[in-house]
Chains A and B, each alone.
Chain A
Amino acid sequence: MVSQTRREFLKLGLAAAASAAAASGIEIPLFANQSSNLQNQLDNANTQMANLKTKLNTVTGFISLNINEQSLVEAIVETIIPSDSTGPGAKEAGVIYFIDRALAGDYGQSANMFMDAPHIPPNIPVTAGPLMVNPSLAWAMLPSPRGGGGSTAAIAYAGDSTHGITASPRVGSGINYQYWMNLREFWRFGLIALQAYSNKAYGGNFQTLTAANQLQVLKDLWSNAPKTKYATSDDLTGFTNILPSDFAYELTFMTWSGFLMDPLYGGNQNMVGWDYVGFNGVNFGNFYGEGLNQQALMVATTPTKLKPASLAQYQQAASGGT
């Protein structure tokens, strides 16, 4: 899909440049005695312009993912939510566009994350020995026992055998992500590592693997196989600084989000994701004149499928639009 879109985009770019003259031409007023030949030409030009404008309005580019990442992410999201006999998948929903925009925005910038140093990973076992960490100056200078009482000496954490030196949180938990990099960087490293692992373990780029092996690569990430399958000293899998399951979480979470979040974020195009799961969006029972109401729907004993409505539709309707 990506390469095809790119080709279409390039083609359209050339067409738009070539028809710049025609674009100004359509504003020439028509006179009563003009020949039908000229009229036909203008009609044709107008039709072409209308088609072009439609295409320009629907063609979509990327603002964050690079060329290599585009084709790789495309293959990954279509593995996580395939298009199949049950209905549309990540491809039709435009999940890759949701991810691309998220990576360029707050999500990728970790704009709403607490990123203060030091960055100390979870899951440090007690066998690693005491962890020595310097205090912040602000804490060190506070009087004891509230702070360090003037001492800037490193503090030792020994942990215990049950809990470890740092906690063992769930993947995706609020304290799990302790990387120094923001999520855009995390994805960049993660995608390179995933491709390296795909080549090493399955003999080719992820995009070239069979569907079964593509799914297996992702499952391997979840089970941290890239870390355990090969010698620790061998960093050819690329997952030297990233726990594979942490990256698998982002891939899976963001793919489903791209399938199910409001279309205004670039995914869930034409609300195919909502239609698939039977979600109503902001259709509260009468958006399309169904004549149903929330109070009846919320105590119903049989389900009623509503055609979903998006936030944009809701706002348009609320402001008096159609």
Chain B
Amino acid sequence: MSTVINEPAVDVVCLGVGYMSGVVATELALQGYKVVGITKGPYWDYVNDFSMTKYDEWGVGLGRKYDSPLPLQSTTIRNNSSQFALPVRRYTMPIQYHALGHGVGGAAQHYGGTMGRQGPWGYQMLTRTTGSPTTPIPNSINPQDDTHDWPLTYAEYEPYYVEWEKAHGLCGTYNGSPTNSSTDSSSQHYPWMSQAYPLPPHPLTPVAKMFQTAAQALGYNPFPHVSSLASQPYTNQYGVTVNPCVYDGYCGGPCDYACETGAKANAAYRTIPAAMKSNNFTLVTNAFIYRLDYNTTNNQVTAARYYDAQGNIHVQPGTVFFNGMWGYNMIRLLLLSGVGAPYQYNSGTGTGTGTVGRGLTNGYLPYKGTNVSGTLNLGGNAYPAGNGSGGSVDIYDLMDDNFDHTGQNFIGGSQIGMGGYPGGGPGNITMAGGVGSGSMGGIFKATQQNKYLPTTTSVGATPFGPDLPTLMNYVDLDPHYTDAYGDPVSRLTYDWTPNTYNGAIYLVNKVKAILQQMGAQNITVGSNVNPGAAHNDWWGHHLRGGLRVGSDPTWAALSGYNQLFLNTTQGVNIFAAGEITNTTGDTVPSGTHVAGPQSYRAAEGMKKYLQNVGTAGVNYLAA
């Protein structure tokens, strides 16, 4: 049997050391609390780990050499509760890839860096659609609707956004707000900002400039794409200095490379260095957390258990815990440990009870989306150049309730942008549409000649409406498959909602008008997609919901301070934040950016918890 090693108790135990734990660990360590952060992977160092070996499409793109190994753990997916869920066996590229992070910085070590705030509508989606926080969205738009308002409004989250943006050095200008005033009528629709993003946006591409001009001519308000890849040298509020982007193109896109200068914001290069410097933070790497010890008498988490690289079991006690694991792993750990109320769906009655695993949504459309494309008489360099999230221009006028939805069978809409830097590996460009019978022989080969040196540019978009929570979509433990240590993996029961497709069908024609204004030729609109025919063989790296914040513990797992509810009057000593705690808002803006303020909100709640620990009645912190 494994040796059991008891670790000394600390104030705060962070489970996983990604974006969210980075903020929580740093904020609390700087306040003098003793913090331990535990990650299953290593501490990546961009100079030694990435700068000489990252330009490797085979190793990075398919091998996912910096990512979470699938033999360690995977997940299973199915479209509805009557099906057997198939396990994800392999990383494939492009599109199919799923990039769970591994180590400090987590998945943000290798993302594209796309950011953008969620507007006021996203926080009160239900009330602003039906007029009441308890009236569900109609069945015709979202069957078995489980949409709810956030516990806080946009205005209440705004100060936390500012802190998060300063910490990570975001680049951009006001996203979408024509006046950027918190008091005029546009503030009801656009995410006004009390402070500008700390860094300027990246240089625009020629296509982006054409889009900008066309969008303005059609009455839209274009803004440069918001990015977390530093456009200039920067020092954040914790005194951590950041190198700027070198624009070498091996960045986002289907390969999602790690950054060799640290310009790509993540916990390893923005927050954790400050936590380390405080001497109050201990980092535990290569440690696989498999259980929380839970005292069912007083409903307190007492310790986190993990395996070290030698297979020894460590028991790490703490006063308060923060679950900063990625997506379904955050849910899986709670379910394995018996913490929180597991979600149970009854397909016969179309009802559900419990909260842990409830409300799974997705931040992306499946590959069978309805799209629009055209060609511009403008060439360029399609080989790696630029970065994963700069160069483009977005409009926010066709999302949220920023436009008239009269007569439409969907709510919300889509951010629409164009003109991002080209890049990615040569394999990606060949396989971008998926390898098929057409990808063979001399005729196809000829289409690949000088593909990286285009004299015309293809432009287009695949817009879609927001994916709304429904009782049918959820996360639970898979009954059949287990991880490397023998514990059940997570199971995703998920299919795309009608709102997503209905939005897409409307929005493609809006994009078509922009392409026409840009002077694009050969414009084609893809055929409409029947949601029933689009099976989910793709699993998103932008899963949302599943462990939502809210004010009602009958559907929300977490309170307004991101603390796990025990019931309406009590909480458990564990907090959580991440994309998976986002109650769904609109579509494209980064779920990570929306999760960011929650990490500060959780840190604030945890400070209050620690200040008052032992005092009767303070273990539950209302929003």
Contacts and interface: CB of A to CB of B under 8 A. Distances in A.
Interface of A: 79-82, 84, 86-87, 89, 106, 110-116, 118, 120, 122, 124, 131, 133-136, 138-140, 142-143, 145-148, 155, 157-160, 162-178, 215, 218-219, 222-223, 248-249, 252-253, 256-257, 260-262, 265, 273-274, 276-282, 284, 294-295, 297-306, 311, 314-315, 318
B538 interface: yes
B342 A133 contact: no
Contacts of B482: 116, 136, 138-139
A298 B488 contact: no
Contacts of B246: 294
Interface stretch (B126-134, B384-392, B397-405): B384-392
A111 B437 CA distance: 27
Interface in B65-116: 69-71, 73-74, 77-80, 82-84, 86-92, 96-98
A111 B540 CA distance: 23
B488 A138 contact: yes
B91 A303 contact: no
B79 A167 contact: yes
A145 B74 CA distance: 21
B71 A157 contact: no
B277 interface: no
A267 to B, nearest CB: 9
B446 interface: yes
A277 B448 contact: yes
A212 B73 CA distance: 44
A243 B454 CA distance: 37
B185 interface: no
Interface string B436-466: 1101111001101111111100000000000
A114 B537 CA distance: 16
Contacts of B495: 163
B453 A175 contact: no
Contact of A279 (B73, B205, B426, B477): B426
B536 A167 contact: yes
Interface string B329-371: 0000001101000101000000000100000000000010000
B52 A280 contact: no
A294 B446 CA distance: 28
B55 A311 contact: yes
Interface stretch (B17-25, B212-220, B262-270, B374-382): B374-382
A86 B454 contact: no
A93 to B, nearest CB: 11
B341 to A, nearest CB: 10
Given A139-B479, A298-B205, A299-B203, A177 B78 contact: no
A169 B535 contact: yes
A278 B86 contact: no
Where chain B touches its partner, the secondary structure class is loop
Those 5 A-B pairs whose CB atoms lie nearest each other, nearest first: A169-B537, A222-B437, A303-B453, A298-B385, A114-B74
Given A162-B532, A168-B535, A173 B96 contact: yes
B307 interface: no
Contact of A170 (B98, B381, B434, B440): B434
Nearest to A255: B440
Given A86-B442, A262-B55, A299-B204, 20 more contacts: A79-B440, A84-B445, A112-B64, A116-B87, A118-B480, A120-B86, A138-B488, A139-B479, A139-B482, A146-B477, A147-B479, A167-B79, A167-B535, A174-B539, A177-B89, A178-B87, A261-B58, A262-B56, A274-B426, A314-B55
Given A116-B481, A146-B338, A159 B83 contact: yes
Interface in B237-268: 246-249
B159 interface: no
Interface residues of B, number: 100
A80 B70 contact: no
Given A139-B477, A219-B440, A113 B86 contact: no
Contact of B449 (A171, A276, A294): A276
Contact of A174 (B88, B248, B382): B88
A106 B63 contact: yes
B430 A256 contact: yes
Contact of A113 (B71, B97, B481): B71
Contact of A157 (B84, B88, B247, B434): B84
Given A112-B70, A306-B383, A223 B82 contact: no
B427 interface: yes
A80 B86 contact: no
B363 to A, nearest CB: 17
Contacts of B96: 170, 172-174
Contacts of A300: 379-381
Contacts of A86: 442, 445-446, 449
Contact of B383 (A169, A172, A223, A280): A280
B45 interface: no
Chain A CB within 10 A, most for which of B89, B367, B422: B89
B89 A277 contact: no
Contacts of B92: 172-174
Contacts of B503: none
30 contacts: A106-B63, A113-B90, A120-B84, A138-B482, A139-B478, A139-B482, A146-B336, A147-B477, A157-B83, A163-B78, A167-B536, A172-B92, A173-B96, A218-B440, A219-B440, A222-B436, A248-B437, A253-B435, A256-B427, A260-B426, A260-B430, A277-B449, A282-B55, A284-B249, A294-B385, A294-B386, A298-B205, A303-B382, A303-B455, A315-B52
B425 interface: yes
A194 B455 CA distance: 40
Chain B CB within 10 A, most for which of A166, A218, A261: A261
B62 interface: yes
B445 A89 contact: yes
Nearest to A140: B479
A294 B479 contact: no
A304 B454 CA distance: 10
Nearest to A281: B55
A164 B78 CA distance: 10
Contact of B90 (A114, A124, A170): A114
A118 B482 CA distance: 10
B349 to A, nearest CB: 15
B57 interface: yes
B88 to A, nearest CB: 4
A298 B537 contact: no
B502 to A, nearest CB: 18
B441 A249 contact: no
A128 to B, nearest CB: 11
Interface string B219-246: 0000000000000000000000000001
Contact of A135 (B379, B434, B449, B479): B479
A114 B382 CA distance: 34
Contacts of A163: 78-80, 82-83, 495, 535
Interface string B494-523: 010000000000000000000000000000
Contact of A178 (B71, B86, B429, B479): B86
Given A110-B90, A253-B435, A299-B203, A278 B441 contact: no
B486 interface: yes
B308 interface: no
B206 interface: yes
B249 A177 contact: no
B452 A280 contact: yes
Contacts of A160: 80, 82-83
A212 to B, nearest CB: 10
A17 B482 CA distance: 54
Contacts of A84: 442, 445
A164 B406 CA distance: 37
Contacts of B431: 253, 256
A171 B335 CA distance: 33
Chain B CB within 10 A, most for which of A168, A256, A298: A298
B480 A135 contact: yes
A167 B449 contact: no
A293 to B, nearest CB: 9
